[in-house]
Structure 1
Amino acid sequence: MKKNKKPVVLITGYLGSGKTTLLNNLLKQEKRKVALIVNDMGSINVDAEILKKNGSNVTECPMFELQNGCICCTLRDEFIEHVEKISNLDSIEVVFVEASGISDPGAVSASFLAYEEDNPNTNVYLTSIVTVVDGDRIYREFLSELKQKKEERDSLAEKYDLSDEEISTLIVDQIEFCNFIILNKCDLLSADQLKEVESIVRDFQPRAPIIHSVNGDIDIEKIMTTNPFNYDQIDSSSAIQKATATLTQPGRKNNGCVDEYGITSFVFEARRPFNRDRFMEFVNNRYPSQLIRSKGYIWFSDASMDVQLFEQAGRNSSILPVSYWIDALREDVKQSYIAENPEIKENWDTQFGDRENQVVFIGKGYNKDDIIVELEKCLDERAYA
């Protein structure tokens, strides 16, 4: 192996499992010069914005944002282009890649393998594929499906028939194709429930260490290695064989994860604040069950200074103040920030400044128009406080 090659750590896992939180925690521990590639399937890259606001080292890191698709399919070429750029940055020592929640890690690694084979002198190499598993969600929503999938797995062909791919198969793919598993949100399960989840995870992934975590808080050394990722350890039934085959198919098309799994997304944007009571009533009582994952920044009419981060994953949701709107800062501080970051004026409103509701909704079988109507009912017609 070429000396001083940059290790690449790929972080994958289903929607809402805690990938961004994990990456944020890892960045706070990593002392080397880091580059980031952050992928979000929505048309706005919320994960990248969270890292910018909360990651202690992010302002010093080159960050490449890929959105409105997945690096395993529709954004494959762009992903490889960014890998190539990073490989030529002498100052970078390690690369972290956060895949979207519906990315197939086998397909991502197949692209990386093809890149390494075509560029034997590249300065980067894949070392770790880390799958973040939402232990609570596996137990509450997918445990019975995963058990059935294990029992009915009579043939490899049946397991990987993509014509009627289920979300549970995607979760299995992510669990199978990795060399480290972070079993997250362990605090939401009893000891017996946690044992049951770990058992089913181990059924699909017999080799990778399973690391328990709460809020993605782990010791970075547990997932870091200098050894190249061992593609040969993956069984012939794994996603790598399927993904590698697609790379060589003549006239192949990037149909995308959205089509493959029936998962779609849309962005809701509004320049009026939400009424807190109306929004909370909608989230708590009338939230569509077809929405798998939602995430974005919102503002309430009774808290015009605060940037609120809204997140929903399955049955769980949260709203937390994470920062201040630039327009809410003291005038001299605001003008100084704008002078240093002139791009913020591109989306500046004369009345509300940078305040805006901007949320990505991801789901399967939902009615977009109905959801937009419900959200618009939550907007406050009054002037904000």
Structure 2
Amino acid sequence: MKKNYNNKKPVVLITGYLGSGKTTLLNNLLRQEKRRVALIVNDMGSINVDAEILKKNGSNVTECPMFELQNGCICCTLREEFIKQIEKISNLDTVDVVFVEASGISDPGAVSASFLAYEEDNPDTNVYLTSVVTVVDADRIYREFLDDLKKKADKEATDENNLTAEEISTLIVDQIEFCNFIVLNKCDLLDEKQLAEVEAIIRDFQPRAPIFHSVNGNIDIDQITTTEPFNYEQIDSSSAIQKAINSLNEPNRATQGCTGEYGISSFVFEEKRPFNRERFMNFVNNNYPKELIRAKGYIWFSDADANVQLFEQAGRNSSVMTVAYWIDALEEKQKQEYLEYNPDVKEAWDDDFGDRVNQLVIIGKGYNKDKITAALKSCLDEKAIA
């Protein structure tokens, strides 16, 4: 019997490797979305930086419920918590559509399998999965992973059992394979020939999903949203989906998590004192560890103590931009009013620096945490330390 999806809330899952542009895409979608939205934002770090970015920049975020899941992935260690939040949202009359931003190392097959199991166990639920959108960093695929993916395509044609899950490129393949829409982002960084090469290798793994080119995550929301339920049967059962469904019964998956499977781990660098701008930029531009895959967070410089700076690094690309003001930089009356209505900020207030803090989530593979921490501390402003 055909299921009735009338009056149910469609769920859009946004996935993609670290730094591909998922949060930027989601911000752009929120600006276009006219329906009442609920958000689930997952970040593998112990600080949910993606959620903070959305709060500061997303035009509709203040008007919709947001559920933040951090320090793990919704495909494994946070699977149960993810389903709990989905169930909570399903009962909200104030929500019409749900957007889920997975962490950069989440396996969309596992997330979707969890959702499928939930739908089957709860046939009367008011939510259903419609879109699995994979955001692909065109520039990074071309510069860093193209050779590995070509080798995988050749192996897959002969013996796909030879593929090793420990390689990061396997994760990228899983994300490309298991979706019904692909957003090929950062297309402005490649020429037409290079883009064609990237698109060709994507088609080796994903022959069906439409590919939409974008710059800064700018696409029409109608291109990747639908009212049709996600069609699991159209996805090859040989690789991503079968592995995902099998993983539901693997006891080690929930405890081991993505960091164990792919060798990726993270830590948080936190320091109240400001960075010296010149030292920090020299570290980023000239001495940045190659083992780091992704870093993001809010920082401040001693020469601009009123400004919140957002630092982001993904592969060979990095940026620093001013995104807001520190509360302590406001006029006294505004500051006190803000603190009165936001007691959580007041609890973390520092006598010398107020709410200013350098707080970076750092993600990588095979890095030396102590060495990186020491390097970052050497970038602090000595005058502010004295």
What TM-score, normalized by structure 2, do the two folds share? 0.97
Q: Is the 8 A contact 2:77 2:253 kept in 1?
A: no
Distance in 1, matches of 2:44 and 2:257, equals 10
Aligned to 2:168: 167
Give the match's secondary structure for 1:147.
Answer: helix
Decide whether aligned partners of structure 1 residues 251 and 382 sit closer, same or farther in structure 2, where only a CA change above 3 A counts.
Answer: closer
Q: For 1:23-172, what aligned pairs fall within 5 Å after superposition?
A: 23-153=26-156, 154-159=158-163, 161-162=164-165, 165-172=166-173
Shift of 1:247: 1.6
Q: For 1:266-345, what aligned pairs fall within 5 Å after superposition?
A: 266-345=267-346
- The letter of the residue matching 2:16 is G
Distance in 1, matches of 2:360 and 2:182, equals 29
Distance in 2, matches of 1:104 and 1:208, equals 17
Decide whether aligned partners of structure 1 residues 319 and 90 sit closer, same or farther in structure 2, where only a CA change above 3 A counts.
Answer: same
Q: Residues 111-131 of structure 1: CA distance to partner in whole angstroms, max 9, x if unpaired?
A: 000000010000000000000
Aligned to 1:192: 193
Q: Residues 328-365 of structure 1: CA distance to partner in whole angstroms, max 9, x if unpaired?
A: 11111111111222211121111111100000000000
Decide whether aligned partners of structure 1 residues 249 and 305 sit closer, same or farther in structure 2, where only a CA change above 3 A counts.
Answer: closer
Question: Structure 2: which 5+ runs fail to align?
Answer: none
Aligned residue among 10, 21, 24 for 1:21: 24
Q: Is the 8 A contact 1:263 1:363 kept in 2?
A: yes
Q: Is the 8 A contact 1:294 1:313 kept in 2?
A: yes
Give the match's secondary structure for 1:255.
Answer: helix
Decide whether aligned partners of structure 1 residues 367 and 33 sit closer, same or farther in structure 2, where only a CA change above 3 A counts.
Answer: same
- The letter of the residue matching 2:352 is Q
* Root mean square deviation of aligned Cα: 1.2
Identity of aligned residues (%): 75
Give the match's secondary structure for 1:214.
Answer: coil
Distance in 2, matches of 1:133 and 1:10, equals 14
- The letter of the residue matching 2:350 is D
Shift of 1:254: 3.0
Shift of 1:249: 4.6
Matched residue count: 381
Q: Is the 8 A contact 1:296 1:310 kept in 2?
A: yes
Shift of 1:2: 4.1
Give the match's secondary structure for 2:204.
Answer: helix
Distance in 1, matches of 2:227 and 2:28, equals 20
- The letter of the residue matching 1:38 is V
Give the match's secondary structure for 1:121.
Answer: coil
